[in-house]
Amino acid sequence: MAAAEPAVPALPDGGGVGAAAPSGMVLFCFSVFARPSSGDQIDMHRKFVVQLFAEEWGQYVDLPKGFAVSERCKVRLVPLQIQLTTLGNLTPSSTVFFCCDMQERFRPVIKYFGDIISVGQRLLQGARILGIPVIVTEQYPKGLGSTVQEIDLTGVKLVLPKTKFSMVLPEVEAALAEIPGARSVVLFGVETHVCIQQTALELVGRGIEVHIVADATSSRSMVDRMFALERLARTGIIVTTSEAVLLQLVADKDHPKFKEVQNLIKASAPESGLLSKV
């Protein structure tokens, strides 16, 4: 279909389209996004098709390949309805580990806390072997204590105190920006339905793929944990296990670090009550 040059109707709510750049690129300039007819706000993390209003047909049409705008025209964004599947591939160069609030005061109240400490330590050992950056937070450490002694924090990138439930602090965002190619976060700790859930949702909102390690994540209530994991999985967040994460990161028995990682998983993760409640 040839690129039409429609008349120039005014756009609603102050939206507009600028003239084409000299290179032929289309420059879009929206001062306000109108609400869709459903009443929901436009979610800019969804996939959209740009459509042009064609005067000769009196309707919107998809922009043809190579289309360039030479004058003001009327366009709209149409969200794709197809559910896109998250593949969840992990590579060491694009992955960061987040260890959330594994603190001393939680020991007596978090279900199977000893088991998730054991698995969390295994994950941090794997991160050191594979050169994966690790970010650790501690929720109000003045009152809740520091990270438990069993968790070895040697070589971690950041250890930050927080009062916000989510780990997505300004310092964390700055650290992620400094890691070239970071696109996946492996997340574990406590509590599943509070700090883990809020961290995961914020990261996804920023375009980061999130993997929650089910055998290294718990809550005080197994009901809260179960429904949080179900909710997160429905949003496309990947709920996985420590062994799956570590073996996906090496990917090949010929990987130079495979033997070291294999030694970490020779003993299976604890068969705690956590896994029967996922």
**Residues labelled catalytic:** 101, 162, 195
What are the DSSP calls for 94-125, one per residue?
Answer: GEEEEEE--BGGGTTTSTTHHHHHHHHHHHHH
- Contacts of residue 97, defined as CB under 8 A and 6 or more positions apart, other chains included, come to 123, 124, 127, 132, 133, 134, 135, 185, 186, 187, 188
The order of strands in the sheet holding 238-240 is: 158-162, 134-139, 95-100, 184-190, 209-218, 238-240
With the CA atoms of 191, 193, 199 and 204 taken in that order, what torsion angle do they form, in degrees rounded to the nearest 10? 150
Q: Give the C-alpha separation, 246 to 59, whole Å.
A: 52
Query: Taking a C-beta distance cutoff of 8 angstroms, is the pair 77, 50 a contact?
Result: yes
Element (H, E) at 205: helix 197-205
Side-chain-facing half-sphere of 64: CA atoms under 13 Å? 8
- Contacts of residue 4, defined as CB under 8 A and 6 or more positions apart, other chains included, come to 52, 54, 55, 56
